[in-house]
Structures are given as C-alpha cells and as structure tokens.
Chain A
Amino acid sequence: MSDNLYAYGVTPDDGSLAVDATGVDGSEDVSTVSHGPLAAVVSPVDDMDPERTDENVRAHDDVLRAVMVDAERTVVPMQFGMVFKGKRPLKNILRTGRPTFSRSLNDIDGTYELGVKLVAEEGATVDREAVAERVDERLAPVSVGTVENDLFSDRLVVNSSYLVERDEREAFDEAIDDIDEAYDALTLQYTGPWAPYNFVDVAIEAK
C-alpha cells in the first residue's frame, strides 16, 4: 500500500469530518490531514496520476459535495488529479498556502456553486442576449457572484455559474423554476451544488 494521498480540497479544521462518499479509484476511506487551522480532504490512492474517467470525476465532486452539504463545511476545491506523496508534502502546502486558502475560504464562506445552462433546439432562432440578460436579472439578487462560462456548443444560450449562500438556496430554486416556466422552447439544465471552482483562484503545482 502506497502513502499517496489524493486531495479534494481544503476546509477549516473544525474537528473530525465524517464524509459518506466513495472517493477517487473507489476509495471508501475519505479522511482529513490537518495543519494549523486548515484541513485537506484526502483519500489514499495507488496511482500518482489517477485516470480522468467519468466515474473518478464524479467521485471527486461527490466527496466535495458531501463536505459542503452533509457536513456543512465551506471548501476550497482542488482540480481533479492532485496527488501528494504522503502527509508531509500536503502539510507543507497547507502551511505555505495558508494565507491564500484562508482568504479564499473567507471569500466563499457558507456558499456553494450552482450551474445554470439553457439549451436551444437544434437550429432554433433565439434572442440570446435578451435571454441571458433576463436570466441574470432574475438570479443576481439571490446569489453573491456569477461567472459566465464558455458557450462550447452552438445550442447553448446560457452557461453560467452562480455562487449562492446555503441559506439562499430556496430562493434561488424558486428563481430557477420561474426561468424554466418562462422559456418553453429552451431546455434548462440546473446542476450542483458544486464546490466553488469558479470563484476561487488557488493554483497548486504538485510535484
């Protein structure tokens, strides 16, 4: 058994954290590594470079979601694929990155990210700008941040991420229902909660 640790994200170290989710490469052993006021959420892996399968990507997000929703912790997510050779290099990151992690955790305290996509039928004519504007007008008051993501398909009319306070979730859901009713011709895809990938700027070079 190797000492390699796959890291999902960083949370405030508020004592023991029980995560009921299966981790990357099927690990049932999600735990934390603490240093100072911070804790990294980890699970053991054999491979230094775990395969980016749909299943593994989902496991990465499931663990983060369990931390945010079940354990009600704020979490700064790491990108998929961060593996550390044991606890020591990970603690080093927590030590040297402490100001950055603490600032990010403060910025996103009590929030998570929700994804909103509106998809047009193939070849349909849609006033994209008007739709995008009205959607944002409805969602901005019930959120604390927005990022417009890449429109990677011609059929995408809206592809945005919203930073929403946990306590505002119901109001946000209602706004989403309104939008769904307002646009019969468009398909709404509402996803999350996600860890706030689009609202933290933490880059870690692991080697």
Chain B
Amino acid sequence: MTFVVDDLLVRPFLGLLNVIHSMAIEGMYDTDALRDELKENRLLFELGELTETEYEERRADIENRLEVAEQAREQLSGRIEVRQ
C-alpha cells in the first residue's frame, strides 16, 4: 500500500525542525558568547579574582570551544542559515 503524505502537512513540521536545529546551533556554537567569556575571564584575572593558573586553564578551555564553534559555523553556514 502506498502512503501518500500531503506536502502541506509535512512542511510545517520541517519548518519547526529547521528552527529547532538553528536554535541548537545558536546555543552550542554561540561564538559571541564565547568571546564575551574570554573577556570576562581576562577581567576577573586582572581584578585578582582568578589566579594565573585558573585564568590560563579557563582561557585554554574557552579558546578550544571557540575554535570548535567557529569551525562548526563555517561548515554549517552553507546549509543552514545561522544568524550572526
């Protein structure tokens, strides 16, 4: 038996999925937020709230995440619209 799906029925769901996907990318790969985190880390170190070791560790962690995020955005940007 052939099951024909009405395109009109499917489309809204596809739309929603796309939105969810975009939002996930926004959240996971939010490069602006990561850049802000880098600046905040630097500020807290300058104010003496973080030791140099803590600062360096956090910085390395944030920079890694930023690198991953930038690569992901680059790879996905052709296929899914990612707001900057």
Contacts and interface: CB of A to CB of B under 8 A. Distances in A.
Question: Which 8 pairs of residues, A with B, have the shortest CB-CB distance?
Answer: A153-B40, A152-B36, A152-B39, A187-B47, A152-B40, A153-B43, A119-B47, A189-B47
A124 B47 CA distance: 17
Interface in A146-177: 150, 152-153, 155-156
Contacts of A153: 36, 39-40, 43
Contacts of B47: 119, 187, 189
A189 B39 CA distance: 14
Given A150-B36, A187-B47, A189-B47, 6 more contacts: A119-B43, A152-B40, A153-B39, A153-B40, A156-B43, A189-B46
Interface of B: 35-36, 39-40, 43, 46-47
A117 interface: yes
B55 to A, nearest CB: 10
Contacts of B35: 152
Contacts of B36: 150, 152-153
Contacts of B43: 117, 119, 153, 156, 189
B40 A155 contact: yes
A116 to B, nearest CB: 13
Nearest to B35: A152
Contacts of A150: 36
A41 B47 CA distance: 31
B52 to A, nearest CB: 11
A187 B35 CA distance: 22
Contacts of A155: 40
Contacts of B46: 189
Contacts of A187: 47
A50 B40 CA distance: 24
B59 to A, nearest CB: 9
A96 B8 CA distance: 59
Contacts of B40: 152-153, 155
13 contacts: A117-B43, A119-B43, A119-B47, A150-B36, A152-B35, A153-B36, A153-B39, A153-B40, A153-B43, A155-B40, A156-B43, A189-B43, A189-B46
In the complex, which of the residues A150, A152, A156, A187 has the most CB atoms of chain B within 10 Å of its own CB atom? A152
Nearest to B55: A54
A99 to B, nearest CB: 33
A187 B36 CA distance: 19
Nearest to A191: B46
A156 B43 CA distance: 10
Interface string A66-107: 000000000000000000000000000000000000000000
